[in-house]
Amino acid sequence: MENPPRTAARSRALIDAVLKDLMDQVPSLIVTGMRFEPSVPADGQETIVHIDLEGNATVICEISPEGRLQSARVIENE
C-alpha cells in the first residue's frame, strides 16, 4: 500500500509536533520569536527553525522531512 502524498499542511504539522515535543522538555525557555526555512516546507524538504529566546540566544533546529529532530544547537547572540 502506498503512502498518501504529503501536503504542506501535513509537513507543517509534523514540524509543529517536533517543536512542541522539544519545548515540553525544556519548559523554562521563553520564546520571543521563530523563523522557518523554508517558510512553507515542501514535501520531502528538510526544515530549519530558528527559535529566538529571551536573553540573547537562538536555538537552531534541523527537522527531517519525516518529522524527526535531526539536531538542535544553541547560539549565543552578540
Segment 6-60, tens digit of pLDDT = 577 778 888 888 888 887 877 677 889 999 999 888 888 899 999 999 988 999 9
At residue 11, the pLDDT reads 82
In a domain, 1, yes or no: no
Structural domain total, the chain: 1
Whole-number Å distance between alpha carbons of 60 and 48: 7
In a domain, 2, yes or no: no
**pTM score:** 0.70
CA distances from residue 40 to 10, 31, 36, 72, 73 in whole angstroms, order as listed:
11, 21, 8, 20, 22
- Domain range for 22: 8-76
